[in-house]
Chains A and B, each alone.
Chain A
Amino acid sequence: MTGVRAPRRRVGRMSGGRAVLIALVSTIVFFGVIGWVVVNSPGWPAVQRSFLDPAEFRDALPDSIARFRINVQLFLIAEVLILVVGLLLAVLRSLPGPVFFPIRALAVAYVDIFRALPGILVIFVLGFGVPALRIPGVPKDPFFWAVVALTLVYSAYVSEVYRAGIESVHPSQEAAARSLGLSRFQALRFVILPQAVRRVVPPLLNDFIGLQKDTVLVSFIGVVEVFRTAQNKQAAHFNWTPYLATALIFILVTIPLARLTDWLIARDRRTQARGGVR
């Protein structure tokens, strides 16, 4: 075994060194050409002034970070609600038997509609439309309606993720649970769901990366969060650089979450390779 593998590894290392060199040269050439084209374009000085102004950037960054707190709040509150509503929808949709047909139909209709609607439309309708009805006792706070809109839209996606997880648990698990006298609900709660949820953590995180970014959409109904802050500054100074600060914040927050998702997926694959499902 070692006799066969040793020479192969040497070959691998040799071509590995060459591969790195080729990758390096090709990357430098590729980005060099793009950079050269951009910097030598006729409009470059104007673009540089309005998008890459260091003074504007230094001015925008602290305010943007401070306002990003609103996005984080929105995200955290909505995320908890989405996890609960999504699970409820998935469970309702998995109810067997003809008696539950109306409930299943409602759950299916909900998921279909809210996956079809662009999120921004739901945000507009709830954020502007509902308060305009001026029903006493109904909140007017755009933050409240922002949370509701994001929950409605994202729980439709998340319920489908949960459902895939529930369906991935082998029917023999339910048979084993029911054969011990557990009711359908107990089998779901103690045997099916714990296994299902464990399996869908990576795709759930993926949806939450999307949610994190979509929190900027609520700026359109008047929630002053990070994107709205940049917009205000842009309007006041006629300079687009504040958006760069916003972009940077999202990149810094999202990349660790994406890496965590990758790591969890890789770990699941290792567990499965071992034959375990824990």
Chain B
Amino acid sequence: MSAPVALRIEGVHKSFGKLEVLKGVDLEVGEHEVVCLIGASGSGKSTLLRCINLLEPIDAGRIIVEGEEITAPAADVDAIRRRIGIVFQAFNLFPHMSVLANITLAPIRVLRRPRARAEADASELLERFGLADKRDDFPDRLSGGQQQRLAIIRALAMEPDLLLLDEVTSALDPELVAEVLEIIRELAGQGMTMVIATHEMGFAREIADRVCFLDAGVILEQGPPDRIFGSPTEPRTRQFLARIVAAGRL
């Protein structure tokens, strides 16, 4: 790991009431690295991503982004979130705003960009990701795949240092998954640092620089995709992958 560190997670614990979801997670992500989190439902993948974005306060540990400890008590939460984009499984688009307004809201209100410039930037992103003709539509007129592409564009408009993707294809019909994965592939090609929680094992194997297997709130095993998928050392990892293969997902 010679590249500069974009994200460092040290001993992160998180409980919801009596349920301990994260039990001491350590992870380092280098700049321009793509890390995929795999693991069964409930293993803590989504919670970890929500903690990195400070949408969930952590109980113990530290999270450091680009050298700054974002979990410090005095940290400016809004300023930190500007640099960390997150895309949700359920899109979470703003239903009362047009496609364009969904994208430009944060650049105008948070980055204080002039509207004309924010709209020009947004139009460029829409063009690049094939949604230019939807600019003035409302989200409910878009297909699931288009909605998720819009959610990714909305996060990109803030020019984040780090992009978190939380099972972004899980709510999509199978035939719409490809168009979303295509965008992520393109972003990886451009060097975007990403942490991706996913059930798409084939995609994780193809795109990830590193795969982390989460089990019962800890990262049980991590390494290059070929090793994790080809010759996992932990019995739990083998078990998980065997179930995935049996389900025809790999």
Contact = CB atoms under 8 A, between A and B. Distances in A.
A48 interface: no
A186 interface: yes
Interface string B138-154: 10100000000000001
Nearest to A197: B96
B118 interface: no
A276 B81 contact: no
A170 to B, nearest CB: 8
Given A186-B110, A275-B140, A180 B155 contact: yes
Nearest to B93: A176
B82 A181 contact: yes
Interface string A172-192: 110111111111001000110
Contact of B81 (A172, A179, A194): A179
A274 interface: yes
A183 B81 CA distance: 10
Nearest to B138: A278
B162 interface: no
A180 B140 contact: no
Interface string A97-119: 00000000000000000000000
Interface stretch (B84-92, B175-183, B196-204): B84-92
B90 A172 contact: yes
B95 A182 contact: no
A180 B92 contact: no
Interface residues of B, number: 26
Contact of B55 (A179, A195, A274, A276): A179
A190 B97 CA distance: 10
Contacts of A195: 95-96
Contacts of B88: 172, 175-176
Contacts of B82: 180-181
Contacts of B92: 172-173, 175-176
A198 B95 CA distance: 12
A194 B96 contact: yes
A180, A276, A278 — most chain B CB neighbours (10 Å)? A180
Given A172-B90, A175-B55, A190-B105, A181 B95 contact: no
Contacts of B78: 178, 181-183
A183 B76 CA distance: 11
22 contacts: A172-B90, A172-B92, A173-B92, A177-B105, A178-B81, A179-B53, A179-B84, A179-B86, A179-B155, A180-B110, A180-B155, A181-B79, A181-B106, A181-B111, A182-B110, A186-B110, A194-B96, A276-B138, A276-B140, A277-B96, A278-B96, A278-B138
